[in-house]
Chains A and B, each alone.
Chain A
């Protein structure tokens, strides 16, 4: 029998893999990919809690859909920033984006 804990453990594993990708990658697009993995893990959590703890309503699914909308907007703006960074520095390394550093 697959319980809530199985889904939460899967989501936790996916989140941790995404976190490692977001922290340890040099390419800005790869960092965005890590963030997408983390958002997906959170969505699994939301839907699993909805399914197992409060099956009469669909609040978790609605929240997951809002997360998907925000993630889509985030990817569009993030990639525009990456392209702008590439145009100015000819690189997509996150370590190159240090204009605000003193």
Chain B
């Protein structure tokens, strides 16, 4: 993608992503927050497509927008209590948290302005999916298998933690 179209798409996607993220944090109804989180994930998937990482965009939509968001909505629905319109309040540290976040952002922007990136958008392989597959089953095969074990352990741990214990209640 070259020229003005990709610039316009970048700014649109950036506005969508950041706007939805702000809505996730600011809205007082946590179900709305979860739905805006899906919008943020889809915006990030668009950014991946703009960065020519198509496989990652597909994974983003499948796992984040499909899996993680549904899990979070389940979590909201299983633990709902009180009025849903006031279900996502700020805690007593929100002013300090805002100051810390703002300071971090200013620091990041200053560091960005001072860093001379020698970027060279050189020849990008046509098919990154194949390259990702070869990387996973080549130099990264051990982390790949460990990630599989981690997912298994995570699932077993989640079931153990969420299961109702006998004799309780």
Number of interface residues of A (CB under 8 A): 75
Complex: A48 Cα to B13 Cα, angstroms: 15
Complex: A4 Cα to B157 Cα, angstroms: 39
| CB-based contact B10/A16 at 8 Å | no
Chain A residue contacts of B161, Cβ below 8 A: 77, 80-81, 83-84
| CB-based contact B122/A55 at 8 Å | yes
| CB-based contact A47/B30 at 8 Å | no
Known: A58-B131, A72-B154. 20 other contacts (CB 8 A): A4-B117, A7-B51, A18-B25, A20-B25, A24-B98, A26-B90, A32-B75, A47-B53, A51-B121, A56-B122, A65-B132, A71-B68, A75-B68, A76-B154, A77-B158, A79-B158, A80-B158, A81-B161, A92-B79, A92-B81
Give residues 82-114 of B contacting A (CB, 8 Å): 87-91, 93-94, 96-98, 100-102, 104-105, 108-109, 112
Q: Which residues of A contact B (CB under 8 A)?
A: 1-10, 12-21, 23-27, 29-30, 32-34, 36-37, 40, 43-44, 47-48, 50-53, 55-59, 61-62, 64-66, 68-77, 79-84, 86-87, 90-95
Chain A residue contacts of B78, Cβ below 8 A: 83, 86
Complex: A66 Cα to B136 Cα, angstroms: 10
The SS class assigned to the B binding surface is helix
Q: Name 22 interchain pairs, CB-CB below 8 A, sorted by A.
A: A2-B10, A4-B119, A9-B108, A9-B112, A18-B21, A29-B76, A37-B21, A37-B24, A40-B41, A47-B48, A50-B51, A51-B51, A51-B53, A51-B124, A53-B117, A55-B123, A58-B125, A72-B68, A74-B154, A79-B75, A79-B158, A80-B158
